[in-house]
A and B are shown apart, each in its own frame.
Chain A
Amino acid sequence: MDKEKQVYSMLEKVYDPELDQPLTELGFIDQVLVKDNHVKVVFRLPTYWCSPNFAYIMAEDIRKYVSEIEWVKTVQVHLLDHCASDEINHGASAGKSFREVFHNVSDGDLEELRKTFDIKAYYARQEKLMKYLLKMGMSKEHITSLSLQELNELSLPEDGKLLREKYLEKKKVFHHSSTFAITTPEGKPLTEEEFSDYLKGAKLTRLSMEFNAHYCRGLLEARYNLSAAYEGSLAK
């Protein structure tokens, strides 16, 4: 695999925290430049005003994942056309913390924020899986009592497998000790009575994230005059 492709495959792991989708799919990666062992990743966002904290999370993750490639010596992150481009580019490329860069307007780092979005992504992925299982004919009782092992052993069609994989990937982040497959983000199993209200709440979170994703994609397209086809090819 050539170097540029290696970088792109690492960038697939970088997610927009708010949208829970990879930057490569969203069309946020403008270009990747490789010179010897030095990499520059140029990225862009749907508006000049996109929140600098979300942008910083993405910039940090770009640097983190690309740095994991063994031949990479330095990673320079470059955010285009943004109200805080200078601070973000300078800070993230130098590996500085968010607090150091934005000390005047923040009172901490981004860990809490990352956690907030992990929880949202957890609800959204979980709701999709739960709805899928319901559609397959599984009862509420069965879903709430399902163990992790049983979930893993369920024979599912391809689309179901993907939902399960995405959900379990996010579940790992929380280090739950319980063996129940479907729990709250805090690791608490659901009762049958709680099931419907829980699902309704999770649905709102999923809708909100999906709305944001549609909106952001559309804005990026309008901002950079991308046709849908061109945007699709960028994702490859």
Chain B
Amino acid sequence: MKLFKASNGEEIFIIDAHIALWDGSKENQLNIHGEQFISCFYDYHKNLSPKEYWWPKDEFVKYSPEKLVNDVFMEGYVDMAIFQPVFLKEFYKNGFGNFDANEELSKKYPNRFICNGTFDPRHGERGLEKLEENKEKYNWQGVKLYTADWYGNSKGYKLSDDWSKRYLEKCQELGIRNIHIHKGPTITPLNRDAFDVADVDDAASCFPELNFIVEHVGLPRLEDFCWIATQEKNVYAGLAVAIALIHDRPRYFAHIISELLYWLDEDRIIFGSDYAIWEPKWIIEKFLEFELPEDIQEETGVTFDLEVKKKILAGNAARLYNIDIEKQKEKLKNCQLSKWIA
């Protein structure tokens, strides 16, 4: 297993807060939407990954748990990873993500994974009961919400909907404290801005005990996201997608990270690779090497040094998930993966 050593010799502990094990295979696809969904992911993958990290498409649509372990932990410098599953039951027979498959891997490699869950507020009372059952069964500390998911005739929901609030209330009651939200398009009413993040504002002020991690930093509405995050202190920036720009568009990444540090500060930015769209290995290598160009740094006056990077790579997520990094390192010493140090 590879560890990342900073230039001062320090081993950097890394939590990848956004990974997935999915099945987008032909056999699992229900319709053309399923095929298009995974194809779209593949375009993201090819668009921003360095060429030497491009996967063949047939491997990308469905990969083995062993490949995940290899790419994330053995090669990818990651010490702990958080599963963020989505249903997509209208596109895939058995769903795109699978709680049990995640759980199985987590049992095989203790202390390496945090398995988050998901819910869909459009499932009504039945879903609320299921959420309770799932908390009991999987002990979820967080959920990933995909507000653009389809359900029957509905092409998405908002966190400010009455039912969403009932589910968030339930999360608060059950101690599911970390709400990761991916904002995607096609949310009704369709005549409005489909990427509007204002509902996060509403939910965050209604539920101050919950943490709202906005994945992909609210892109493509960075400005609205930053505005909300300055108002609501329980709103966090999930770096997945934005961080992948570091290879192909380094100046854009510099602008984004510099703005986030300026508007949010260094304690509310959280690293995620979005594996398997992108492999953590190249992202982490480039991120730790990265320095803000002088002109960009001067505009905001922010600091982006090793201490800040360590918070983004582990410290902030550790706080949200009650992980004591030093104790965790001890626990992981005897993990079978640690013994295969390359």
In the complex, are the beta carbons of A49 and B191 less than 8 A apart? no
Please tell me which stretch of B65-73, B169-177, B215-223, B265-273 contacts chain A, meaning at least 4 of its Cβ atoms lie within 8 angstroms of it.
B215-223
Interface residues of B in 1-53 (CB under 8 A from A): 33, 36-37, 39-40, 42-44, 46-48
Given the known A-B contacts A18-B220, A49-B184, A208-B219, are A99 and B191 also in contact in the complex, defined by CB atoms under 8 Å?
yes
Number of A-B contacts (CB under 8 A): 109
In the complex, are the beta carbons of B220 and A116 less than 8 A apart? no
In the complex, are the beta carbons of A106 and B191 less than 8 A apart? yes
In the complex, are the beta carbons of A48 and B36 less than 8 A apart? yes
* B42: A residues at CB distance < 8 A: 222
Please tell me which stretch of B98-106, B134-142, B203-211, B251-259 contacts chain A, meaning at least 4 of its Cβ atoms lie within 8 angstroms of it.
B251-259
Interface residues of B in 82-97 (CB under 8 A from A): none
- Say whether B289 faces chain A, with CB atoms less than 8 Å apart: no
- Interface residues as binary, B135-168 with A (CB distance below 8 Å gives 1, 0 otherwise): 0000000000000100001010000000000000
- Interface size of A by Cβ–Cβ distance < 8 Å? 41
Nearest Cβ distance between residue A28 and chain B, in whole angstroms? Answer: 15
Nearest Cβ distance between residue A167 and chain B, in whole angstroms? Answer: 18
Which listed residue (A99, A104, A108, A204) contacts B153, Cβ 8 A? A104
In the complex, are the beta carbons of B190 and A218 less than 8 A apart? no
Interface residues of B in 211-252 (CB under 8 A from A): 219-223, 226, 245, 248-249, 252
Which listed residue (B43, B185, B192, B252) contacts A211, Cβ 8 A? B252
- Say whether B125 faces chain A, with CB atoms less than 8 Å apart: no
In the complex, are the beta carbons of B43 and A53 less than 8 A apart? no
- Say whether B337 faces chain A, with CB atoms less than 8 Å apart: no
Interface residues of A in 186-236 (CB under 8 A from B): 201, 203-205, 207-208, 210-212, 214-215, 218-219, 221-223
- Say whether A94 faces chain B, with CB atoms less than 8 Å apart: no
- Say whether B186 faces chain A, with CB atoms less than 8 Å apart: yes
In the complex, are the beta carbons of A83 and B191 less than 8 A apart? no
Report the Cα distance A51→B188, complex, angstroms.
Answer: 11
For A110, the closest partner residue in chain B by CB is B191
- Say whether B193 faces chain A, with CB atoms less than 8 Å apart: yes
In the complex, are the beta carbons of A53 and B190 less than 8 A apart? yes
For A223, the closest partner residue in chain B by CB is B43
In the complex, are the beta carbons of A214 and B249 less than 8 A apart? yes
In the complex, are the beta carbons of B186 and A49 less than 8 A apart? yes
- Say whether B56 faces chain A, with CB atoms less than 8 Å apart: no
- Interface size of B by Cβ–Cβ distance < 8 Å? 39
Given the known A-B contacts A108-B189, A214-B249, are A208 and B223 also in contact in the complex, defined by CB atoms under 8 Å?
yes
* A51: B residues at CB distance < 8 A: 185-186, 190, 194-195
- Say whether A185 faces chain B, with CB atoms less than 8 Å apart: no
In the complex, are the beta carbons of A109 and B191 less than 8 A apart? yes
In the complex, are the beta carbons of B191 and A108 less than 8 A apart? yes
Interface residues of A in 95-122 (CB under 8 A from B): 98-99, 102, 104-110, 112-113, 116
Interface residues of A in 10-63 (CB under 8 A from B): 18, 46-54
In the complex, are the beta carbons of A219 and B190 less than 8 A apart? no
Which listed residue (B192, B220, B226) contacts A215, Cβ 8 A? B220
Report the Cα distance A203→B255, complex, angstroms.
Answer: 10
In the complex, are the beta carbons of B191 and A112 less than 8 A apart? yes
* B155: A residues at CB distance < 8 A: 105
In the complex, are the beta carbons of B220 and A211 less than 8 A apart? yes
For A116, the closest partner residue in chain B by CB is B193
Report the Cα distance A15→B132, complex, angstroms.
Answer: 48
Report the Cα distance A46→B46, complex, angstroms.
Answer: 13
For A205, the closest partner residue in chain B by CB is B223
Report the Cα distance A53→B195, complex, angstroms.
Answer: 11
* B223: A residues at CB distance < 8 A: 201, 204-205, 207-208
* A210: B residues at CB distance < 8 A: 252
List 27 A-B pairs, Cβ < 8 Å.
A48-B33, A49-B37, A51-B185, A53-B190, A54-B194, A83-B36, A98-B191, A99-B191, A105-B189, A106-B190, A110-B191, A113-B192, A201-B223, A203-B259, A204-B223, A204-B226, A207-B255, A208-B222, A208-B223, A211-B219, A211-B220, A214-B245, A214-B252, A218-B48, A222-B42, A222-B44, A223-B39
Other than the given A52-B190, A222-B46, 14 more pairs (CB < 8 A) read A49-B37, A49-B148, A98-B191, A102-B191, A105-B190, A109-B191, A113-B191, A207-B223, A208-B222, A211-B222, A214-B249, A218-B248, A223-B39, A223-B43
Give the interface of B toward A (CB within 8 A). Answer: 33, 36-37, 39-40, 42-44, 46-48, 148, 153, 155, 184-186, 188-195, 219-223, 226, 245, 248-249, 252, 255-256, 259, 263
